[in-house]
Structure 1
Amino acid sequence: MIRPACLLILAATMSGVAPLSAQPPSATGKFDAPAPTPPFTDFRYESPGTTRKITPADLPAPYATKGVGNGPHMVPRPADAWPKAPPGFKVELFASEMKNPRQIRRAPNGDIFVAETEAGRIRVFRGIGADGKPQQVEVFAGGLDAPFGLAFYPPGAEPQWLYVGNTGAVVRLPYRNGDLKARGKSEKLVDLPTGGHSTRDVIFSADGKRLFVAVGSRSNVDDPDTTPAERFRANILVYNPDGGERKVFAAGIRNPVGLAIDPKSGELWTSINERDMLGDNLVPDYITHVQEGGFYGWPWWYIGANQDPRHAGKHPELKDKIIVPDVLIQPHSASLGLVFYDGKQFPPEYAGDIFAAEHGSWNKAARAGYEVIRVPRHGTARASGEYQDFLTGFVLDNGDVWGRPVGVAVASDGSLLVTDDGSGSIWRVSYAKP
């Protein structure tokens, strides 16, 4: 399976924009590059608890810096490398030796389900022992087509199905609380477009009446007006639970990888990978609540009334209709899974906050992302635009990468579980007081 980053590097090269190489480590063994200009940053300055905020006014002009091809150089995790969390938190290795663990979701009975995308299977983890590891691990189902999204239906205490977002379809497997193996074969409900961005997250509205499906673009900035393959992509689609009555819930969202429902308000939120090759600090990825019928700009505009120069003059009628997202994240962080913290273990100020996994992208000279962030909401229904570094340390001083966060879930004991497809692991973050 071709990874999305590979496709985008190829697209950039074919468009005549030659990706540059990143600056190598210095003689000291550390990555050597000028310090970033705030509010922008990179892996060297990520620190648990540091608060950041990017606003539309902070954005540079397109091509202020050149596009850079800087895919991660992956290495095995060194013995002394470990994720770093704020004071009072403990990080443990929950599971290892997994094959491409991606989306992670908690079942109503507390079991943890994880999609191993490249392996085409779903694992289920039960319990947390005194050693911080699962007490039982099983393969729930296999033979799936690059599964990513996981959703239990109907919402509530007694689900009947596990819905799975395969890369080319939404399927469902019969499920009851406590099942460690699927009760039957998968049933296909919806065909989805394939190629390009391949993740397909799925989630139900709080009342169970609507099935949301995230479908990213096939390309970086191809115009849907002239590229048929982009139609019904870069959208969040909505269906009936049986797969009928497809509609576009929101559009112009380049790659909505993660979906989540605010447990208090019932609002849909998403985590977005924005476009590449406009420079190191364009375009910010983002996290936002999603307005039904809303348009978020791709491919003609971004972050409000900023036109992509590759589509200059197109669709001027949309200029004042683009919704500015709630939280702008460091450009090229590759924001993936997100979850609302509904546990009781963390300090009270964490209640209702968002945790999101930043996978790290290829289009920035000094790496950004490769961390888990916290979006504080201060007890409100919205976000103020700020976020905090929460779990860092996945990039070594020389710029090599050993871990890449993908999905986040809150375990039944209130700890946070993070999938890492770089090291094939799941990390557990618990609070033990300073």
Structure 2
Amino acid sequence: MLLAGAVQAQPAAGPGNIEKLKQFKVSGTDLNIPPVPQEGRNANAIRDNLKRVKLPPGFKIDLFAVVPDARHMAVAPSTNMLFVGTRKTMVWAVTDRNSDGVADEVKPFAPSLKFQNPNGVCWTKDGFLIVAEHNRVLNFPAAEFFYESPDVAVIEVVPQGGLIPVEEESFNHGARTCRVGPDGMLYVTLGQPFNVPPREKLDLYKKWGIGGIVRMNAFDGSKREVYATGIRNSVGQDFNPKDGTLWFTDNQTDGMGDDIPAGTISRITKAGQFFGYPWIKGKTRVTENGYDKDPLPKDIVAPQVLTEAHAADLGMVFYAGKQFPAKYQGGFFSAQHGSWNRTKPNGAQVLFTSLKPDGTADKTEVFASGWLDGDTGTFRGRPVDVAVMKDGSLLVSDDYAGALYRITYQP
């Protein structure tokens, strides 16, 4: 059986390939792009694990695609396919060619380029694909229709080394997420690389928006500004289509105990808001580097949702579909990746949060669970992101099992 890893055995992408693609020139990369096998022992084992997943009555979960290292997702606006980022060097193109609710083909996108942690993928209003890497942002004008070739037209929104200072690059908290807002601007989350940032870094990080969210022109990176600060490491964001507010998840400080501080999901109502980090996380004062000895800064925006500590809240999406019952329409789903440093593991589930008439959070409940084996404490999957398909079904990505799941509702 062909192993999924064999897909990556392509000729190495040269550093100059992006210059060739910007000029619509051929890179010389092999035109034959091997797909990821979608059937066999691995796919069957993943399906067996899904039998453990618990959902509300009427809902069903199935394997949509085998996608190695699957992280954040961007559902294509016009065709029955999507793009999936990873924390490695691959962006995947996932296609359901016969529209049966199961992917037929998964293969690398733009393999003539060398990506570096291309976790974040999202769309502009006119269907241009954005890929947010650790320290670069690319824009692909025709990705949805020309992804069959290894060579794809590309725009450098932010060149390599321009998103954050190169000396601040870190293996820690380097996964970016992106969204294009109602204003047409590109919003990118920038996690700060420390558990708790040193005081001497605060001014630099505030200037660049590290430990915050920045926004910029989605095509040339101009008009860049720091949109929000006081965030530890956000790896999930989405705009509420009803009022245009931006919501984001945030991961909490490690090493303070099993049950503190809480994870948070927050709402941004205007530019320049400050969310309290590193002085406070949720309702807990941060003790490392003596921040708890300082008076709290003024004008801290409190989170909308407090979640269980260390469950690692990641991707989120507002549900604008029609397939699910009215209860879910207008609220948002969010994915918990699961803990790594808790005495008793937690997380590895999908939450749903309803909203009040004024647009603030109402109730948060578990929507899908079962990837964490309660008897053994073993993770059988680790949800990363959630995305709504055009038919109203919900996709869940899992970078541990290397898969996308599709949740449907049938009364």
TM range (shorter): 0.7 to 0.9
Match of 2:19 in 1: none
Cα RMSD, aligned residues only: 2.3
Deviations along 1:247-268, one digit per CA (max 9) or x if unpaired, are: 2111110011111111111111
Matched residue pairs, number?
348
Q: Residue type of the partner of 2:176?
A: R
1:180 to 118, 128, 147: 147
- For residues 47 and 320 of structure 2, the distance between their equivalents in structure 1, rounded to whole angstroms, comes to 33
Return the alpha-carbon distance in structure 2 between the equivalents of residues 176 and 364 of structure 1.
41
Does residue 1:338 correspond to 2:308, yes or no? no
Counterpart of 2:96 (choices 120, 126, 129) is 126
Match of 2:272 among 293, 313, 316: 293
1:270 paired to 2:248: yes
Among 97, 101, 106, the alignment partner of 2:75 is 106
Looking at structure 2, the residues matched to 414 and 337 of structure 1 have their Cα atoms a distance apart, in angstroms, of 18
Deviation of 1:334 after TM superposition, in Å, equals 0.6
Q: TM-score, normalised by structure 2?
A: 0.79
Number of the residue aligned with 1:394: 371
| Shift, 1:125, TM fit | 2.3
TM-score between both structures, scaled by the size of structure 1:
0.75
* 1:115-154 equivalent positions in 2, closer than 5 A: 115-126=85-96, 129-130=99-100, 132-142=101-111, 143-153=114-124
Q: Structure 2 vs 1, CA of residues 174 and 367 (structure 1 numbering), >3 Å: closer, same or farther?
A: same
1:78, 1:344 → 2: CA distance? Answer: 26
TM-fit CA distance, 1:79: 3.7
CA separation of 1:285 and 1:207: change in aligned 2, threshold 3 A? same
Structure 1: how far apart are the matches of 2:397 and 2:98? 16
User: Higher helix share goes to which structure?
Assistant: 2
Call closer, same or farther: CA 1:125–1:317 in 2, change over 3 Å: same
Q: Show CA shifts across 1:151-207 (max 9, x none).
A: 222x1xx32x21111011112122265443463245252522321201111111113
- State yes or no: 1:234 paired with 2:208: no
Equivalent residues of 2:267, 2:304 under 8 A apart: yes
- Residue in structure 2 matched with residue 164 of structure 1 by the alignment: 131
Partner of residue 63, structure 1: none
SS at match of 1:321: coil
Q: Name the counterpart of 1:37.
A: none
Q: Name which of 79, 88, 91 aligns with 2:58.
A: 88
Cα distance, 1:223 vs structure 2: 2.4
1:207 corresponds to 2:186 = no
Query: Is 1:302 the equivalent of 2:281?
Result: yes
Gaps of 5+ in 2: 1-44
Which AA in structure 2 matches 1:84?
Answer: K
In 1, distance between residues paired with 2:48 and 2:123?
38
Deviation at 1:343, TM superposition (A): 0.7
Letter of the 1:216 partner, please give it. Answer: G
Percent of aligned pairs with the same amino acid: 33
Amino acid at match of 2:156: E
Cα separation, partners in 2 of 1:229 and 1:368, compared to 1, 3 Å: farther
Code of the aligned partner of 2:75: R
Structure 1 position 245, deviation (Å): 2.9
What does 1:9-24 correspond to in 2, within 5 Å? Answer: none
Cα shift readout 1:106-132 (whole Å, capped 9, x = no counterpart): 1221532211332422323235744x3
Aligned with 2:327: secondary structure? Answer: helix
Structure 2 counterpart of 1:222, from 184, 197, 216? 197
Contact 1:256–1:270 (Cα < 8 Å) also in 2? yes
**Separation in 1, partners of 2:130, 2:138:** 6
CA contact (8 A) 2:393 2:409 kept: yes
C-alpha distance in 2 between matches for 1:391 and 1:226: 39
Contact 2:263 2:282 in 1 (8 A): no
Identify the structure with bigger relative contact order (alpha carbons < 8 Å, sequence gap 6+).
1
| Amino acid corresponding to residue 190 of structure 2 in structure 1 | V
Match of 1:381 in 2: 359
